[in-house]
Amino acid sequence: DAGVTQSPTHLIKTRGQQVTLRCSPKSGHDTVSWYQQALGQGPQFIFQYYEEEERQRGNFPDRFSGHQFPNYSSELNVNALLLGDSALYLCASSLEVGSYEQYFGPGTRLTVT
């Protein structure tokens, strides 16, 4: 049973560029959430997708956007990258929307230079 997978593992971008991160949820899960984890901090909720719609959003600017596909996989897009966007981006999936029992992927380490 495949767990949550994310790609790429690491990514280096330049300030002002755009980036797309990808996530495949755990088998049988239809809800995907994204979190940002800065160095030394706990993860912060970005948004949650269910039925291809954004259902919940944290305190992140519109530069952060997402998408969910019919197969439940998801993308996180960040535009106009800032140095402060450097972080570990985590994807989590759950069996149902609103569930707090979430299963996390290994994350994508984004470095903005």
Partner 1 sequence: DAKTTQPPSMDCAEGRAANLPCNHSTISGNEYVYWYRQIHSQGPQYIIHGLKNNETNEMASLIITEDRKSSTLILPHATLRDTAVYYCIVPNAGGTSYGKLTFGQGTILTVHP
Query: In the complex, what is the shortest distance from the CB of residue 78 to partner 1, in angstroms, rounded to a whole number?
Result: 19
- Asked if 97 is part of the footprint of partner 1 (rule: CB under 8 A), the reply reads yes
Give the Å distances, CA to CA, from 91 to 15, 21, 25, 51: 23, 9, 8, 16
Contact flags string 4-33 toward partner 1, x per CB under 8 A: x--------------------------x-x
Among residues 58, 73, 79, 86, which is the contact residue for partner 1, using CB under 8 A? 58
- Tell which positions 62-81 bind partner 1, by CB under 8 A: none
Residue 59 DSSP code = S
Q: Name the helix (H) or strand (E) containing 52.
A: none
Query: In the complex, what is the shortest distance from the CB of residue 93 to partner 1, in angstroms, rounded to a whole number?
Result: 11
Q: For the chain, how far is it from start to end, CA to CA, in angstroms? A: 37
Helix (H, G, I), strand (E, B) or coil at 98: coil
Q: Are 109 and 92 in contact (CB under 8 A)?
A: no
- Asked if 94 is part of the footprint of partner 1 (rule: CB under 8 A), the reply reads yes
- Asked if 48 is part of the footprint of partner 1 (rule: CB under 8 A), the reply reads yes
CA distance linking residue 20 with residue 13, whole number of Å: 11
Where along the sequence are the contacts to partner 1 (CB under 8 A)? 4, 31, 33, 35, 41-45, 48, 55-56, 58, 90, 92, 94, 97-107
